[in-house]
Amino acid sequence: MKSIQIGANAFSWDEAGQGDVLLLLSGWCQDHRLFKTLAPELAKTHRVIRLDWRGHGEHREHDGDFVTADQASDVIAFLDRLEIGRVVPVSTSHGGWANIETTDRLGPSRIPRSVVIDWIQTTPNEDFFRAIEELQERSAWEKGRDDLFAYWIGDTENRDIVDHVSKEMAGYSFEMWARSGREIAKAYRKWGNPMQRMAAMKEYRPITHIYSQPFEPEYTQAQLDFAAQNAWYRPNKLPGRTHFPTLEQPKAVADAIRAFLKDA
């Protein structure tokens, strides 16, 4: 991985391929390793950049607390430093909040489309908030984290997914997990859900949600209903069984992204 200094913080990043730029952004307590099989697929047709969030990846030290808006500012500063004009962000899980904040700030001329992957699109119930509150309690955070892990991976035997959860995500500190819980809860309390956040953008542009979980038909139907009222929103359900389609079925995700980018 390369390093770049933005303000007081160092960030790890890399790139591969040529063509239009795709910027891969993980969720909280994840990093570039989430895209180790997806990035080579996408690099067959695009210039693919993997950027780790502040305090993530190979640079875990950072200058104090930060929020979702800071993550968006970091992305914009990174794009400016590399003199990248047009880009399509591809985010996973709750990295979507910073993705859409970035997309909203930069406008369609610079971000003509955006991709979000496996990000809970509907308004969660109070059980969800209680679960992420556990992440913010020093005496309970590991149990809360492990409960999430168990749901996310299901019964998969995919070694990439098991290692991503048990070794890579588990390597992040209580402080980062607590920050993730706080920021995710704040976002849902403020916006209700990601679809409502996207609907509040200053200028609309095509956005696709590629996902496997949750499996309930009501979840898919809620997105179809939203899409019927908002033609720019395009849900895409994949047949995977885990929260990690980038590792479970990278070619299917890459094909879905390429089809979305070609679709006028």
Residues serving a catalytic function are 243
Measuring CA to CA, which residue among 81, 92, 87, 117 is closest to residue 102?
87
Show the tokens assigned to 15. 């790139």
Show the tokens assigned to 52. 């780790």
For residue 185, report the phi and psi dihedrals to the nearest 5 degrees: -60, -45
Inter-residue contact 53 to 118 (CB < 8 Å) = no
Neighbours of 142 (CB within 10 A): 14
Q: Return the C-alpha torsion angle 69, 110, 261, 15, nearest 10.
A: -70
Neighbours of 96 (CB within 10 A): 28
